[in-house]
Structure formats: structure tokens, C-alpha cells
Amino acid sequence: MTESGARLHERKHFWRDELLLILSMVVFVVVVYALDNALQPVFTPTTLLLAGVVLALIPAGIWLVFFNLQDRAEPEPKGYVLGIFILGALLAAAIGIPVVESLFRVSHWIHTSTAATILGGILVVGFTQEFLKYAAVRYSIYHTDEFDEPTDGVIYATAAGLGYATVLNIQFVVANGGVDLGAGVIRMAVVALAQATFSGITGYFLGRAKFESEPIWWMPLGITLAAVFNGVFNWLQGIVIRPTVTLSGATNNAWLGLVLAAVVALLTTGALLWLVRRNIKHLQAAE
Amino acid sequence: MHTKQNSLGDKYAEITVVVVTVIALVFGWFYKASIENASLPFSAEGVTAEAPKGWLQPEPNGDELFRTIDINSTGFGTTYSISKLTIAEDVPALEVASIVALNHAQDLLAFRVLNQQEVQVYGRSAYELEYVFIESNPDLTHSEFPKVVHGTDYIFVENGQAFVVSYQADENNYDADLNRFLLFLRSINF
């Protein structure tokens, strides 16, 4: 059963933007890494901090630019998308980071074993982050006329996820008094891709919950799935980027982390696109 | 912006999401507690204790029987230690505390006593010495600001022997790590 007035189309531009975001993240990292190696800039503590904060804002900036460009063809209120982005950022700063870092003190125990990394990553980090990104959409735009098609769930949840990622990256920069541009920019791109991807999953479930009669377990399943992806990804990321130590020294595997994030983001976006398309066809047939 | 009312199904779904999240976080809390409170038995020279599992246990120095460090701590690694001092039969705990404080003043940078008092620790009389110092890392390549460390020693005097149980943590972690130390303190037998 569809909600009256719902516009049911695929919003191909949005999916193109998602793919461009993933490619742009890789290009962004390569460019900053190459510039850092070529110019080897010297920073004061203040400029290093500022450079880190600016870099932390770039992934979200890239996505918003793409979104703005496609928006001319398929109008979506930019103010609302920006509002959800800011709401995601505020929830991360006000609740998410304090709960994970101060209340649960995750960094003290999550790396003590593989089981702790996976279970802590799912139960504490995953559920906290995915619930807050869900809340940013569910308690703001969800019941308005602006959330008028299934793909809107993915769009708004992605905006919330990028807001959350931006605050995580800024917090990382500030906590470390700035970051090494090369390694730091990889971390920022990975966090942005991962957060956008996991919230995309929640967004898909939100979109279907709004326009179809789903069972009561539907939305909890969505949050749980996103939290599991979140926890398992962080565990895999830890394995992949672990430095390889040989007799000739240690190698930095941060690039492998970016490759993993890009592959996971591409696969998840592909799966969501397929699911949304199938869902829209199903809804159109029902009409 | 026009908003629509929640249907009954929406409301139940909304509540279910909150309930599932709360359940996950409660399980996460118990799981965290089970990891943080996991312990390994320790025994040396008649002293037994339940030491935190997964912490680094370097070789003890001098009078120390036991030392363990939380390598996952931010800043200064939270450290527990037990030392055994041989003293004359009639030396009161206050005097031992003065010796311990003097030793700390010689070994630790910017050492200051914050508070000292007689206390009861799980049914035993003890002398509590609370202090602060600056971590002085001798490695000159260590390019970080020195850390402010908050510590408390519990001094137990029995039968011509003094046992000093120390708790030292980064000033930012001291309060949060204190409960775990109290579990350790409670487990000590001598």
C-alpha cells in the first residue's frame, strides 16, 4: 500500500551522486596525499589543527556539492538536507561521542580481543551511531511532505551519516592536535564513506517503513543490520590496516583501509539501488 | 513544513526501535563490565590478589611484589602495584607513610601530597596517602606534553611488615578507573 501523493521514481541522479562520492573520496585522498608528499608543507600547531578541520569538512562538502548539482533536475529541499546533516553532527557531538567515549569508555576495552572488537563494535558503537542517525531522520523530516518517496530515506540518512562522520573526524583532529595529512586524510575518507554507507542501510529501511505496511520488527531489523555492518567493518578495518612488520621495517597499510571502505560502499550502494528499484517496481505494480 | 500524525503501527515500530537499542546497549554495558572486571590470580611472598586480565605485568622493581599497567589507558597508563617493606615492630603506619612520601618525592617529578588520613579498607586499618606528580619520561625523543598523574597509596602495617598498595592514573582517568582499583584492593590478602 503506498502513501497517497508519493512520487515513485528511481532518482537516478542520486545514485550517480553516491557513486561519484565514493570515487571522489578516493581522488580526494590521492590528491591530498600527493600534495603532501610533493610540497611537504610545514605547519605550526594552529595551522595543522585548522588544516585538519578543513579536511574533515571536505567529504561532506563534496557530497553536498554533487547533491546540489543534481537537485536542479530533481528538486529536494536543500535546507532540509543541510538541516539533517547538521542534526546528525549535533547528535554525534552531544550524545554519540560522549556515550561511546565517556560512558562506555570503549577505547579502554574494545581492542582486548577479537570478540570484544566485534561485540563492542556492534552493541555499543554500532547501535549508538545507527540509532542516532535514524533518530535524526525519524524525528525530523520523516513525517513531513518532503519525505515523499522511498529513496528519500537513503538521501536524508546519508546526510545524517555524513554529519556524524564530520564530527567524528573533527573530534579526531582536535583530540590529536592536528593530523598527519597523508594518514589523516585516508582516515577521514574511510570514516565518511563508512558512516554514509551504514546510514544508507537505515535509510532504505526508513523509506520502506514509510511507504509500505511493514511488520513491527522491520525498523529494528534495519538498525540492527546497520549496527552489525558498522561493527564488522570496524573489525575488518583494524585487521586490514594493521602495519606489516618485516626485517626491513614496518609498512603502512592505511591505503588498504581506504580500498576496503570503497569496496564496501560500492557493494552496499549497489545492493541498496537494486532493492530500491525492485521496491519501486513493486509499488508501481500495486498502484 | 506539513507534518502527519503517527499511525498506531508507526508508534509501536518507533518504540520497538528504542527498546531494541536500549537492550543492545544494556548487553554492551554488561559485556564491557565482564571484560573490565575479568581477573587473573596473583600470588607472591604470602600476598594474593586478583589482578586485571589483559594488563601488562612488567617485572617488579626493588620492594615491589607486583606491578600491572593498563596499556589501553589514554595518557598515563593506569598502574596498580603492591610493595612489601620490612619495618620494626612498633613503627606506626603514619611513620611508614612519611617514608613512602619521602621516597616518592625523590623519585617522582613535582610530587605533592594532596591528602593523608587513617582509613578503614574493607575491615582493615590503613593509612591513605593521596598525591600528584608529573610523569617524567626519560626518553628525550618522546614528543608529548608530560602527563599529570593522580595517585593514592594504601599503607597496611602488620607484624613488622608494611604493604603499600598503589593506584596511579592519569588525572583525567583517575575517577573513572577508581572502581576497578577498589575491586583489586578488595581482592588482596596478606
Print the SS3 string covering chain B: CCECCCCHHHHHHHHHHHHHHHHHHHHHHHHHHHHHCCEEEEEECCEEEEEECCCECCCCCCCEEEEEECCCCCCCCCEEEEEEEECCCCCCHHHHHHHHHHHHHHHCEEEEEEEEEEEEECCEEEEEEEEEEECCCCCCCCCCCCCEEEEEEEEEEECCEEEEEEEEEECCCHHHHHHHHHHHHHHCEC
**Residue A5 or residue A131, greater confidence:** A131
pLDDT at residue number B2: 47
pLDDT at residue A2 is higher than 70: no
| pLDDT for the residue A159 | 93
Query: What one-letter code names the amino acid at B4?
Result: K
Residues B106 and B20 in one domain: no
Nearest to B84 by CA among B102, B61, B105: B61
CB proximity list for B186: less than 8 A, separation 6 or greater: B122
pLDDT of A14 strictly over 80: no
- pLDDT of residue B100 exceeding 60, the answer is yes
Average pLDDT over every residue of B10-30: 93
- Nearest-CA distance from A78 to chain B in Å? 13
User: Predicted confidence band at A73 (pLDDT cuts at 50, 70, 90)?
Assistant: low
3-class DSSP state for residue A60? helix
In terms of domains, do B21 and B112 share one?
Answer: no
pLDDT at B45: 84
Mean pLDDT, residues A40-65: 85
Task: Tell me the DSSP string of A113-161.
Answer: -HHHHHHHIIIIIIHHHHHHHHHHHHTTTTTBTT--SHHHHHHHHHHHH
Co-location of B28 and B46 in the same domain: no
Q: Which three cell numbers stand for residue B103?
A: 621516597
Residues 6+ apart with CB under 8 A from B39: B50, B51, B52, B53, B183, B184, B187
Q: What is the pTM of this model?
A: 0.82
Containing structural domain, residue B22 = 1-36
Written as one letter, the residue type at A43 is F
The pLDDT mean for chain B works out to 88
The C-alpha of A115 sits at a distance from chain B's nearest C-alpha, in angstroms, of: 10
Residue A5 counted as domain residue: no
Residue at A4 is within a domain: no
C-beta of residue B30 within 8 angstroms of C-beta of residue B24: no
Residues of chain B with Cβ-Cβ distance to A112 below 8 Å are: 35, 54, 72
User: Strands B64-69, B47-52: parallel, antiparallel or unpaired by DSSP?
Assistant: unpaired
Residue-number span of the structural domain to which A241 is assigned: 12-286
| Predicted local confidence at residue A229, as pLDDT | 95
Indicate if B117 and B150 belong to the same structural domain: yes
- Give the number of C-alpha atoms closer than 13 A to the C-alpha of residue A60, restricted to the C-beta side: 28
> Are residues B128 and B55 part of one domain?
yes
- Could you count the other beta carbons within 10 Å of the beta carbon of residue A111? 15
State percent of chain B over pLDDT 90: 52
Per-residue confidence (pLDDT) for residue A77, from 0 to 100? 74
| A to B CB pairs, distance under 8 Å | 86
The per-residue pLDDT for range B119-146, each reduced to its tens digit, is 999 988 999 999 999 987 666 666 677 8
Which residue in A116, A138, A144 is closest to B35 by CB distance? Answer: A116
pLDDT (0 to 100) of residue A256:
84
In a shared domain, residues B59 and B103:
yes
Residue A164 lies in a domain: yes
Collect all residues from A whose CB is shorter than 8 A from any CB in B: 80, 104-109, 111-113, 116, 119-120, 122-124, 127-128, 131, 134, 138, 143-146, 209, 213-214, 216-220, 223-224, 227
Residues B28 and B44 both lie in one domain: no
Asked if B122 and B29 sit in the same domain, the reply is no
In this structure, is residue A2 part of a structural domain?
Answer: no
Q: Please give the residue that has the higher pLDDT: either A145 or B68.
A: B68
Give pLDDT tens digits for B160-170: 889 999 999 99
**Mean pLDDT for chain A?**
85
- Decide if pLDDT at A127 tops 80: yes
For residue B88 the three cell numbers come to: 620494626
- Per-residue pLDDT tens for A168-192? 999 999 888 877 777 788 888 899 9
Question: Count of domains in chain B?
Answer: 2
User: CA angle at residue A260 from A135 to A177, to 5 degrees?
Assistant: 70
Give the rounded percent of residues in chain B with a pLDDT score beyond 70.
92
So what's the pLDDT on residue A206?
A: 93
Q: What is the pLDDT of residue A70?
A: 62
pLDDT at residue number B136: 74
Alpha-carbon gap, residue A57 to B101, rounded angstroms = 50
B20 and B44 belong to one structural domain:
no
| Cβ B70 vs Cβ B52: under 8 Å | yes
State the average pLDDT over residues B154-175: 92
Selected residue of A3, A4, A103, A112 to mutate for chain B interface (largest B Cβ count, 10 A)? A112
Give the distance from residue B18's alpha carbon to the nearest chain A alpha carbon, in angstroms: 8
Residue given cell 592505511 in the structure block: A254
- In degrees to the nearest 10, what's the CA dihedral of A101, A90, A47, A100? 10
DSSP state of A215: -
For A229-263, the pLDDT digits (tens) are: 999 999 999 888 887 777 666 677 778 888 888 88
CB contact under 8 A, B17 and A131: yes
pLDDT of A121 strictly over 70: yes
pLDDT of A95 > 70? The answer is yes
Q: How many domains does chain A have?
A: 1
Environment class of B131 (CB within 10 Å of its CB; exposed 0-12, middle 13-18, buried 19+)? buried
Q: What Cα–Cα distance (Å) separates residue A283 from each residue in A35, A135, A276?
A: 49, 26, 10
Q: Is residue A7 part of a domain?
A: no
Percent of chain A whose predicted confidence (pLDDT) is above 70:
90
B24 → closest Cβ in A109, A123, A134: A123
Q: Is A179 part of any domain?
A: yes
- Write out chain A residues lying below 8 Å of B13, CB-based: 209, 214, 216, 218-220
Q: How far is C-alpha B57 from the geometric centre of its chain's CA atoms?
A: 14
Please say whether the beta carbons of B149 and B134 come within 8 A.
Answer: yes
Among A13, A24, A137, which Cα is nearest to A75's? A13
Q: What is the DSSP-derived secondary structure letter of residue A72? A: T
Instruction: Residue B3: list chain A partners with CB under 8 A.
Output: 143-144
* Domain assignment of residue A6, yes or no: no
pLDDT of residue B154: 96
Q: B61 and B17 in one domain? A: no
Average pLDDT of A41-69? 83
| pLDDT > 60? residue B77 | yes
Please determine, for residue A10, whether its predicted confidence score (pLDDT) is greater than 70.
Answer: no
Task: Please list the residues that pair with B124 across neighbouring strands.
Answer: B121
pLDDT for residue B21: 97
CB contact under 8 A, B24 and A134: no
pLDDT of A71 > 60? The answer is: no
Contact B17 A134 (CB under 8 A): yes
Q: Are residues B82 and B130 in the same domain?
A: yes
E strand segments, chain A? 244-246, 249-251
For residues B75 and B10, membership in a common domain is answered with: no
pLDDT band at residue A1, thresholds of 50, 70 and 90? Answer: very low
A90, part of any domain: yes
